Structure 1
Amino acid sequence: MKTLTSVLLIALLAACSASQPEGSFTSDASGLVVTPAAGSAKSVRLQVINDRVVRVTAVTDQNLELPPSLMAAPAAGKSAPFKVTRTEDEVMLETALLRARVSLANGAVRFTDHADKTLLAEEPKRSFQGGVSQRFNNGTDEGLFGGGQHQYGHLDLNGEDLELVQHNSDIAVPFVVSTRNYGVLWENNGISRFGNPQPYGFASRDLKIKDASGKQGGFTARYSIAGELKLERVESDINYQYIKDRFTWPKELLDGKTPVTGSPPNILPNQTVTWEGTLESSNAGNHKFQLYGSSYFKLFVDDKLVFDRWRQNWNPLYHPFDVAMEAGKPVKVRIEWTPDGGYIALLHNNPLPADERHSLTFTSEVGRAIDYWFIAGKSQDDVIAGYRELTGKSVMLPRWAYGFWQSRERYKTQAEVVDAVKEYRKRKIPLDNIVLDWNYWPEDAWGSHEFDKTRFPNPKKMVDDVHALNAQIMISVWPKFYPTTANYKELDAAGFIYRRNVEDGYVDWIGKGYLNAFYDPYSKPAREMYWRQVNEKLNVHGFDAWWMDATEPDPHSNLDIQSLKDRNGPT
């Protein structure tokens, strides 16, 4: 009976095994496509670009047709030679420089070198819910560098968080290079994050906040004018983050005064605010915070100074800091702020498990596919060369561009520009280039590409005078237009203007304030029309270089993200 039972059990297991769906794959001259047996991705495609670059695309259906890439432009032509082999549970694609293995069970991709040393390995659990997210290399100790031009003080990104959103002086590039000698370019143009997939939220979302007396419910907030306390209250969060939030300022602080029309109430002089209380969590570990702020502010944690900083109000910044917290043990926090028309908010994220915190994770809030380019190399320099091949060669600048530039905000007249160059020559200080910044146009004609004749009577002569002094001149050009200009009307008639800002009646900060909008740079015909307008009005004067300004773009400094989405798109 025991033998019969064993035979039946083996037969049952074999039958169950045979009934399990098997993954499959197809290959062609460009790479391969895997249909996994299980998992959220129904199709996983590997495209060989060259020996060291492979594109990985995973979708929840069989449709792998995606919009053309805006960030990568690999050289056209036949891909590098590669071979495909299958084992029992995976399929391997191999080029002269790398190997890529795809699980037939769940579609997870793993890149190795030819010695089978793992470089980059996907975690099998992909996320397509509420956007897309992919984690790689759980628990890694490698160095990860890149992500663009940020001002957070991070160099090695391993264990850190980045929000990949374009701001005035914060440049998002979804590319990282590893000390393991590979790189990843995340193919997604939406708002993305490196590190924790969870967006930071106000402190009260995750933490228990108590006031200065120990009562739960929020921080003790003390508002003063010239050192005299005007208001004390409990606030559940510190939130003067965006333009709309500043108008919730307490009326008690106005002290009978009225700010200039359109100005925030917290711009009145001699105002200060202090928030004080404790933070407590049931989650022990390294808690990540961001103090979003501008103007003057100080941060103390357990009575120790963490920040003592100033930041310009038209361009606030996230200031990250970590706090090691024990479960149930309160941490004292005090923030002192001189608003002067500025912004401030305290944001937080809970600790991640160590293997997730030290991983390579990209998340985007929109996207139909998990899509990225893997770049292998023998060195980090080699990886950067592969990135260059993928995204396009950098233009070699003329020799003068490597010399000294003079720029200021701003030269208001033609004479100021030429006189500045003359002064450099008079003092025998080397100068190669002078920059003509914005607002050279008539006040009510932004986007006309015309010069204000009262201040710049002869722009061609200005350029010629600079050239005669053996210098070059760069000019700032914008993708922003007032609806009264002929250029706006031409672009709008062709459907190339983001009209929401105008339709909703929002004005800018120039003079009395003017209706304005940006054009659609993602349309090739729109770009061609834009350049023709610039060429006809500005290039004819002989300028040497273009400063393509306002690439953020920024209808008004420090709008909340949803307002930016509404105004800077075809909505």
Structure 2
Amino acid sequence: MNCLMRKHCLRAWAFTACLGWIQLYAQEKGTWKKDDQQTVWVTPVANEAGGGRLVRVQLYQPQIVRVTVYPGTTVTPDSSLSVVAAAQVRKTFTTEEKGDSIYIHAAPLHVAISLRTGRLAYTTGRGGVLQEVTEGKRFQPQVADGLPCYAVTNRFAVQPDDAWYGLGQHQDDQFNYRHRQVRFFQNNTSVAVPFLLSRNNYGVLWDHYALSTVGDIRPFRPLGDLRLFNAAGKEGWLTQTYANNPARPEELVYTSAVSDINIAFLGDSKAAFPAAFRPDKGLVVYTGAFASGFTGLHKFDFTYAGYVKMWVDGKLVLDRWRQAWNPGAGVVELPLEKDKKYDVRIEWLPDGGESYFTCRWLPPVPDEEQNQFAFTSEAAHAIDYYFIAGENMDSVIAGYRRLTGKATLMPEWAFGFWQSRERYRTQAELLDAVKEFRRRRIPLDNIVQDWSYWREKEWGSQDFDPARFPEPDSMIAQLHRDYKTQIMISVWPKFYTGIPAYNQFERKGWLYGRNVADSVRDWIAQGYVSTFYDAFNASARKGFWNLLQQKIYSKGIDAWWMDASEPDILSNVSPQKRIAQMTPTALGPAALWLNAYPLENARGIYEGQRGTGDNKRVLLLTRSGYAGSQRYGAVIWSGDIASRWTDMKAQISAGINFSMSGLPYWTMDIGGFSVEKRFERPKEADQEEWRELQTRWYQFGAFVPLFRVHGQLPFREIYNIAPETHAAYHSMLYYNKLRYRLLPYIYSLAGKAYWQDYTLMRGLVMDFSADTAVNNIGDQFMLGPSVLVNPVYEYKARKRRLYLPAGTGWYNWYTGQYENGGRHIETDAPYEKMPLYVKAGAILPTGPERQYVAEKKVDTLRVYVYGGADGSFTLYEDEGRDYSYEKGSYSEIPFTYQESSHTLTIGKRTGSFTGMLPKRTVQVVYIDKAHPQGIADKVNILKTIAYTGAALQVPLMHKTL
């Protein structure tokens, strides 16, 4: 894996694998060979157009098959950055030839390989076909850095009831990716993770790092591929008008015909805008009509910056905003009839000098592709993927982590509240903010110092500006000593030319040179020339850590914020430009390794801090990640999203799909990062909308894996959003305190994520897969096994329509009222409360109110038990700050509830750790249909028990009058 890819390329084309040992069984069937106890090689007869000539099928791990397809008989050396697990020999593995196929049996998974075509099919012991290659593999010759490689494609056929999730984090508010498209190009707000998870309990890990597309891989088409009509009805184009005063759009400065809206990347708008147009103030309008030659669901894909609205036949179907320097993404799905004309009007206010706007479309999915998905990558040497089967979606994710590494356990304080803003400009500002939190008794565990704490001209020095941060060592010590607060600091892989760190890295050949050669300046003051270090270079990673350790970690910093880790060397450039900026990498052509940069960047800091020997848990907040990032202590956040209701809603499905990609730790900028001008200096109505948006987002944010506030002006501290007499303040404080009460539950989920490969933020389909109604529900989720979270994402909404999954009953969080599952309900959603429900049979441990995690131990545990079904929960505890848990230093207390006898069993505690409480008080609150009550400070405690670690049973029967 550490060999240069350039050498791999040359070696791949210089030698041919010796295939003389392959046994010939029947010429018309092709040949096959089992070369050891776990690998089958097949050379099919039929070379489908552009298809592979040699197929390797390896039983890699229990219920995991690795498939590698080579374009010829050349076997290229293996090289993976994501997969760290070695193959395990399966002694129970058998093969048989039957008809024109080879069958591999490794119960419960069975694989069939066609000797004619090389196609594969997977079945389980239950006999159902999970997945099958239909159109086979496709190789198209390419060149990267003058070396040969291939664009590769692999198609899969699936069951008609299938649905697909995961694939990282994306901003188009799509949840079930069936018949949809996902593009893998690391970008601000878009995170590529090449792991697909099926509701039918299988997964595919696509082990490639190039630009890729997944799902419906048909290329989106320009608008001109529709029948277009201008504003006067003439066929051939739309009418495009420019006005410099949006209030008077009839005062045009330019009119033209347009059939392609494609202002996609940096610099494109300069050529697109007429000279007389003012993009910072003006309005662009597209009018006319369109017609399609197809009947069915059409998709319109948008990239936008500024304000964009789209009406079709007078109906508003798109209404978005994104700050001009950071374009957003959206998809509109429209059912259209063949040859029917639809009136269209699109309005775009660029809202900036450099702006972005694209609109493309796709016709309906063809009948022959209704039950297919595909992976395609632009640069590779072979097709390489892992098929993972499981009993449920959790076991499939466990297989993903067996391959790519366990998710490390975050420090316990990380599950408390994080306060951040863009940015604390001085040492005094930061300390004053923490002081105010403590004065107001608002719980807080982590304060974040964002970018630009260095001197203006010294980005990459990792030095604090002494004029604004005169005593960083003392500041950090005071945060720890006086305020009991951790501090996280922003570090970028970016260096300004001329500073000592740049000169050192340049001498050693650790920097990408193209951005410097192009003399591209960034956006600070007059602009400075910069570049990024090559994270694929092991020596450069070590050098970067040494710089951080010397300048920052030695001062006592607790956690790292790794911004722009895509790498965002220059924002809003095309993928081809990014590849050029990264060429060459230490591993070879950047085209092959493009999307893996954030993985290797995180690796360097994780390995560096663990190498210090201080045993403090590594915590990395990084704007991008890849398959395997979870093993490096990484939390991924959703980037510089906008402060809008539509963006808040999009974070729900984005966070769920990211969690279902196998990486359990996700967070977002609560309240959104980029802010409309109307909120920066708001009128009264805008001020109230801002407060309500922040409140609703805060309610949602309290139930995601990491609870974190961040954003541009206005300042994001609770007391800067609203006065303490305001409902917004009351609500945010309530959910902050509630988060701390729930930490015994949440930290136990984190322990389960490490020990059992669990997922904290869960799509409903994970726990209620028998209920097909949940397949497309991406605006609700489970936090752990018990809590159904239903964010409110519409302004002034005071009701919330939601779905209660079938197969169980549900209790209202605030009242305890019981509801049957399997139906939609409309429930109250007052300003200060987000609808929450608890599953029947749930056991929910809660702790005391705390100002910070380490303030007090949970010596009194309040356990809420919900009747109506059997249930169980295991309380996990450990030291909370170091890696002693990896060596078995932790404890577990099992709780089980039996509905038939109304009995709670508190099991025997197993394990121990330094600082473990030898005994504690357990307060039991029992809720059933006849005895409803909500989760609150003052409740009816049914039993109070002194627990010392021995098992005991607690009868739960309410007294009857």
TM-score under structure 1 length normalisation: 0.91
2:265 matches 1:242: yes
In 2: Cα distance, 1:383 partner to 1:540 partner? 40
Q: Deviations over 1:305-361 (max 9, x none)?
A: 101221222221221112333333322221011111132111122333134144221
1:123 alignment counterpart: 134
User: Match of 1:266, SS?
Assistant: coil
The aligned runs of 1:71-90 (5 Å cut-off) are 71-75=82-86, 78=89, 81-90=92-101
- When residues 281 and 65 of structure 1 are mapped into structure 2, their CA distance, relative to the original with a 3 A threshold, is same
What corresponds to 2:449 in structure 1? Answer: 436
Q: CA–CA distance in 2 between the matches of 1:293 and 1:251?
A: 19
Conserved? CA contact 1:141–1:158, under 8 Å: no
1:76, distance to aligned residue in structure 2 (A):
6.5
Paired position in structure 2 for 1:379 = 392
Q: Which amino acid aligns with 1:239?
A: N
Q: Does the C-alpha gap of structure 1 residues 30 and 526 become closer, same or farther in structure 2, counting only changes over 3 Å?
A: farther
Q: Does 1:214 align with 2:233?
A: yes
Conservation of the 8 A alpha-carbon contact between 1:283 and 1:327: yes
What's the offset of the Cα at 1:368? Answer: 2.0
Matched residue, 1:225: 244
Moved more, 119-128 or 322-331: 322-331
1:45-84 paired onto structure 2 within 5 Å: 45-75=56-86, 78=89, 81-84=92-95
Question: C-alpha deviations, 1:451-479, integer Å up to 9, x for none?
Answer: 11111112111110110110100011111
How far the C-alpha of 1:553 sits from its partner, in A, is 1.6
CA gap of 1:231–1:29, structure 2 versus 1, over 3 A, is same
Cα shift at 1:545: 0.6
**How many residues align structurally?**
542
Matching residue within 427, 445, 451 for 2:458: 445
Equivalence for 2:517: 503
Q: Residue in 1 aligned with 2:197?
A: 177
- The 3-state SS of whatever aligns with 1:28 is coil
Residues 18 and 102 of structure 1: CA distance in aligned 2, closer, same or farther (over 3 Å): closer
Separation in 2 of the partners of 1:304 and 1:233? 25
- What residue number does 1:35 align with? 43
Q: Which residue of 2 aligns with 1:253?
A: 276
Q: In the alignment, which residue of structure 1 is the partner of 2:745?
A: none
User: Which residue matches 1:266?
Assistant: 279
Residue 209 of structure 2 corresponds to residue 192 of structure 1: no
Q: 1:18 to 1:537 in 2, by over 3 A?
A: closer
Task: Tell me which of 299, 302, 305 is aligned to 1:288.
Answer: 299
SS at 1:365 equivalent: strand
Query: Is the alpha carbon distance of 1:66 and 1:330 closer, same or farther for their aligned partners in structure 2, counting shifts above 3 Å?
Result: farther
- Contact 1:211–1:277 (CA<8 Å) still a contact in 2? yes
2:535 is equivalent to residue 521 of structure 1: yes
Measured in 2, the distance between the counterparts of 1:519 and 1:428 equals 42
- For 1:142 and 1:33, the matched residues in 2 are separated by 30
Which secondary structure state, in structure 2, belongs to the residue aligned with residue 128 of structure 1? Answer: strand
Q: Which one is further off, 280-289 or 75-84?
A: 75-84
Q: d(CA) in 1 for partners of 2:89 and 2:551?
A: 42
What SS class does the counterpart of residue 141 from structure 1 fall into? Answer: coil
Q: CA deviation at 1:21?
A: 5.8
- Counterpart selection for 2:403 from 358, 365, 390: 390
Q: Which residue of 2 aligns with 1:326?
A: 337
CA 1:19–1:553 in 2, change beyond 3 Å: closer, same or farther? closer
Q: Deviations over 1:115-141 (max 9, x none)?
A: 331111111432112611111115632
**1:99 and 2:110 are equivalent in the alignment:** yes
CA contact (8 A) 1:107 1:124 kept: no
Write the distance in 1 (CA, Å) between the matches of 2:101 and 2:191. 39
For residues 498 and 18 of structure 1, the distance between their equivalents in structure 2, rounded to whole angstroms, comes to 53
Q: Decide whether aligned partners of structure 1 residues 80 and 421 sit closer, same or farther in structure 2, where only a CA change above 3 A counts.
A: farther
Question: What residue in structure 1 maps to residue 439 of structure 2?
Answer: 426
Which letter maps to 2:550? E
Q: Please name the residue that 1:257 is paired with.
A: none
CA contact (8 A) 1:292 1:347 kept: no
Q: Report deviation, 1:81.
A: 4.3
**One of 566, 569, 574 as aligned partner of 1:555:** 569
Pairwise CA RMSD: 2.0
Q: Is the 8 A contact 2:103 2:112 kept in 1?
A: yes
Q: Which residue of 2 aligns with 1:6?
A: none
**Which has the larger displacement, 440-449 or 349-358?**
349-358
1:305 aligns to 2:324 (yes or no)? no
**Does the 8 Å contact 2:431/2:475 carry over to 1?**
yes
Measure the CA separation in 2 of the matches of 1:461 and 1:352. Answer: 62
List per-residue Cα deviations over 1:195-225 (Å, max 9, x = no partner): 2223324212x22322111223321112112
Superposed displacement of residue 434, structure 1:
0.5
Distance 1:93 1:290 in 2: 42
Pair 1:475-2:489 in alignment: yes
Cα 1:567–1:436 shift into 2, 3 Å? same
Show the counterpart of 1:260: none
Kept after mapping to 1: 8 A contact 2:461/2:495: yes
Match of 2:499 among 457, 467, 485: 485
User: Where do 5+ consecutive residues of structure 1 fail to align?
Assistant: 1-16, 255-264
The answer to whether the 8 Å contact 2:288/2:345 transfers is yes
Q: TM-score, normalised by structure 2?
A: 0.55
Report the Cα offset of residue 19 of structure 1: 6.3
Q: What is the distance in 1 between the residues matched to 2:244 and 2:304?
A: 20
Match of 2:932 in 1: none
> 1:145 corresponds to which residue?
165
Shift of 1:18: 7.5
* Kept after mapping to 2: 8 A contact 1:196/1:357: no
CA distance in 2, matches of 1:165, 1:357: 25
CA gap 1:429/1:240 in 2 versus in 1, 3 angstroms: same
* Whole-angstrom distance in 2 between the partners of 1:304 and 1:18: 63
For residues 536 and 251 of structure 1, the distance between their equivalents in structure 2, rounded to whole angstroms, comes to 52
Give the partner amino acid of 2:165.
F
Report the secondary structure of 1:291's partner residue: strand
1:220 maps to a residue whose letter is T
Deviation at 1:485, TM superposition (A): 2.1
Distance 1:126 1:78 in 2: 27
Query: What is the SS of the residue equivalent to 2:317?
Result: strand
Matches of 1:566 and 1:280, distance apart in 2: 39
Q: Tell me how far apart the structure 2 counterparts of residues 232 and 333 of structure 1 sit (CA, whole Å).
A: 17
Q: Classify the secondary structure of the residue corresponding to 2:497.
A: coil
The 5 A counterparts of 1:7-26 are: 20=28, 22-26=30-34
The whole-number CA distance in structure 2 between the counterparts of 1:191 and 1:80 is 38
3-state DSSP class of the match of 1:129?
A: strand
CA contact (8 A) 2:30 2:42 kept: no
What is the SS of the residue equivalent to 2:478? Answer: helix
Which of 112, 124, 133 is the equivalent residue of 2:123?
Answer: 112
